[in-house]
Structure 1
Amino acid sequence: MKIAAISPNKVRLNEIGKLLQAASHVAVLTEGGAGKLRQVAEQDQPDLMLVDGIGCCEDSLAPIEDLTTHHPQIAVVLLCAETSPAFLLSAMRAGVREVLPSPAGQAELETAVTRICGKLRGAPGRGNGKVLAFMPCKGGSGATFLATSLGYQLAQARSVLLIDLNLQFGDALSFVHDQRPPSTMADVARAIDRLDASFLAACTVRITPSLSILAAPEDHAQAVEIGPEHVDAVLALAVQHYDFIVLDIGRPVTNLSIKALDRAHRIYTVMQAGLPSIRNAKKLLAIFKSLDYGPDKVELVINRFERKGAIGAAEIERALGKFTIHTVPNSYRHVTAAVDHGEALMTDAPSDPVLRSVAQLAQTISPRQEAPRSLLERLVRRQLVAG
């Protein structure tokens, strides 16, 4: 594994280098501070960067966030004396994998490096990212909420890019973020010749260190500039750099949406347990059949499901055929509050039953193995649960 270490302290830098070399890593040692981050990332292209001595206040995290935004493939560990929960949360939002004390003990640093390198080696290789598409049967089905919630869940362990392909009315970003995006899918399409991993990452909004969103354009005139070839190029690149690409696709079946659906590993058809939704689902499934999307690719998600309702999962299966069916319970108050606040349900209501259903879906997609958590992960999780 290629690991770069940056520190203004030459003695400390040499100690880190000896530890890395003893563990058979390729060590790149740079004496200096935050001004060297981008240079080292671009020239040496390490898998992991150990950054020591840049300061322990939130303002000092700006160069780190710039680094993780432009080079999302590089894992960053910060060595810092500050370990308060507030600073750790800020570090997480800036894209830091772990925060260790500075100077770090040999055993602690070695354990952290081994843990992160193990995760990096276990990540999917180039071209192995999975595309998951969410498509509603009718307006108001809750497809955008489920897409953003699933993306947030998967990002607890994997890297996720959510792309809003509801180009005329897309508002996926507003479900987890309360500000306007600096760039959108339209900006990517206009500069498609510049498309690479750094440009794509720079056009997204970083929600958490592992979840980014490429927003839909806010102007309809910009939406019409986006073609199937732009979507195909973005997805071809994204699967090389993200574990999962979640697509929030609008209801109309168009050449553009078909291009996206062709690349999808799974299509989650979102519906409700009502006759209008069932009728629309039947039409949509017929279209999928004509496109040769079989039951191995299409799954049903029954949103706002009432177990004692008039129409159950068995009746829906009889009406639509044999498909894998997932149910998500109704939790109007918590879900509405989370959406209104522009926050993920995991942050706004971490014990909500809807969240448990989404977590179960995430588990079927990406089974997680429990592993010892870092100090940063434990404190962040504690803050989220308490919040």
Structure 2
Amino acid sequence: MKRMLVLENGEVFIGKPLGSTKEQSGEVVFNTSMTGYQEIMTDPSYCDQIITMTYPLIGNYGINRDDFESMIPSIKGMVVKEAANIPSHFRSRLSIDEWLKQHDIPGIQGIDTRKLTKLIRETGTLKGRICDANQDIGNVIYELQSNTFSNDQVSRVSTKSEFINPGTKERVVLIDFGAKKGIIKDLVSKGYEVIVVPYHTPAKKILAMHPDGVLLSNGPGDPTDVPEAVETVKNLLGHVPIFGICLGHQLLALACGAKTGKMKFGHRGANHPVKDIRSGEITITSQNHGYTVLSESLENTSLEITHINVNDETVEGLNHKEVHAFSVQYHPEASPGPEDAKGLFQEFQTMMDEAKKGESIYA
């Protein structure tokens, strides 16, 4: 049986089945990571997307029980050049094919992923569908061009209720817009008490928890689709130290009057160089986002740019000039990817220490 990936612009890729045999549509994106496919497939930020892995062999160390970034994946599909049928690793429990079938996620293998990636780079991200090769291609293209995808991804991947991870140090409230397990794991490993709350939790309720700091998590989609989160951040600014990651970075920018925009094909991979313009230091980072903060919109705000992307000079980091708040577009917890940026968690600690020395935020 053959499968095909049909794109809204009429391009068709014929390949072999991988994972579930269901038909599914999504936004087709690419990730340049050579490893870390398990974390990528379970990252909530990929909600509703079909992921193309540019590295030609995926699945060679299998799927283990420890490296999930969420327990319920929200991706729409996987596209690979070749999927390893017999993975080799002492922690491996399933092959990528078995795992995709277990979660009823369709995939396709055996196509020219290099050609597909170059196409996305030229045209931008495209809607696509993984389906059987006997489907009427014209009808599939018409449906892709006619339909619009939902914009409620954050509400679907965010936690539905509050929960706490006990700790002995500062209390950090993490607003979950689609948080990866790696962020929580890093905070807990440093001894923080971490309270995870839903994306729409109002500032008044968060401040009633008496946090020492608030972390705005990563998440999927367009930040302008969650105006309630922007309002929450506005009402938190100046009352408690804030650290934003990825979508959280964009929400901080919006809360301060800046603007965001959709990128042509985004940043997705574990090898993106970022420059700290304060020190000149270059850090290799893990990234996954399709939107960016527009640098020209920062001019009349209280935010200053601290980091830029070396490849395209997009905004990668911000600092608030008047209150305790900063953010980065990339993932300091990695998961997967290099851990060069983990020092940002220490910057968050320093910010919380500085806030404690000032007047009480609850006075």
Task: Normalising by structure 1, report the TM-score.
Answer: 0.27
Q: Which has the higher contact order (CA 8 A, sep 6+)?
A: 1
Structure with higher helix content: 1
Structure with higher strand content: 2
Task: Normalising by structure 2, report the TM-score.
Answer: 0.28
Bigger radius of gyration: 1
